[in-house]
Amino acid sequence: MGTLEGKIAWVTGAGSGIGQAGAIALASEGATVVLTGRRKEPLDATSATIKAAGGKAVVKPGDMMKSSVVGRIAADIDKRFGRLDILVNNAGLNIGERDWGRLTPESADTVIHGNLSSAFYCVTASLPLMRRTKGGVMIHTASWAGLWPSSLSGAAYSAAKHGVVAMSHVINMEECVNGIRSCVFCPGEVATPILDKRPIPVSKEDRAKMVQSEDCGDLIRYIACLPPHVCINEVVISPTWNRGYVAQQQHTLAPKKKK
């Protein structure tokens, strides 16, 4: 019997990348996983993988940028299961035109709503279910850019992910008395489909050196399996071959030209 047998987990952005890996890892521990994302087909693929391994999954497609949709899915979870034990708040996006020279109010709204507003919608919809059972764990995918602003990630993405970090800490401040734990997960570069939105393409060789989705899924599983009296407030992980550090070293150690 898995550590999470009988638990209900809701994973957003579950059709690919970190969300998919997290959902599979939670299911491997016995949790029933509710899979959410904008496109049904990738969710069905995640569900099929989970069920092929003997796990339990339910597909609930929806756009997390719409509060009414988030509320509807939470109500469906409540009606079907009567509880929610784990929220993996992973839905997110970025755009190619992310520098100030090309950023528009409309594209900034897309990034901020897709990463920050959607996270708030999921938290506000999930808290009543967790308060009822006096327990639960929330795991939010932020980013390295949520701690250190980056022009590579862009102003809107960096600002939104900073907001996710702050949101998670305030959940702990207010909800610890209800037995609810919140962890914000801040990965460096992860080899997921969001890299395809980078203005400069990322090579297959560089992707192989990055943190992989399965590494993140295993971390999500670990956090969710911790006993109720333990809260990991914040986790930062990065590739050992950190491209930012490597570039800095190359710049620092480069031979100086003689004047």
Q: What are the pLDDT digits (tens) for 198-255?
A: 666 777 888 888 899 999 999 999 999 999 999 999 999 999 988 777 777 876 766 6
Q: Has residue 259 got a pLDDT over 60? A: no
Range of the domain at 149: 8-253
**pTM of the predicted protein model:** 0.91
Q: Is residue 229 part of a domain?
A: yes
Classify 87 as helix, strand or coil: strand
DSSP-assigned letter for residue 54:
T
Q: Which of 121, 157, 222, 245 is catalytic?
A: 157
Q: Is residue 33 part of a domain?
A: yes
For CA atoms 53, 192, 159, 251, the dihedral sign is positive
Cα–Cα separations (whole angstroms), residue 37 to 20, 73, 92, 106, 247: 10, 11, 10, 22, 35
Q: Is residue 259 part of a domain?
A: no
Active site (annotated) includes residue 222: no
Q: Is residue 26 part of a domain?
A: yes
Q: Report the C-alpha gap between 30 and 25 in whole angstroms.
A: 9
* CATH of residue 49: 3.40.50.720
Q: Is residue 3 part of a domain?
A: no
Q: Report the C-alpha gap between 2 and 86 in whole angstroms.
A: 15
Q: Is residue 1 part of a domain?
A: no
Structural domains in the chain (count): 1
Q: Is residue 258 part of a domain?
A: no
Q: Is residue 230 part of a domain?
A: yes
Q: Has residue 118 got a pLDDT over 90? A: yes
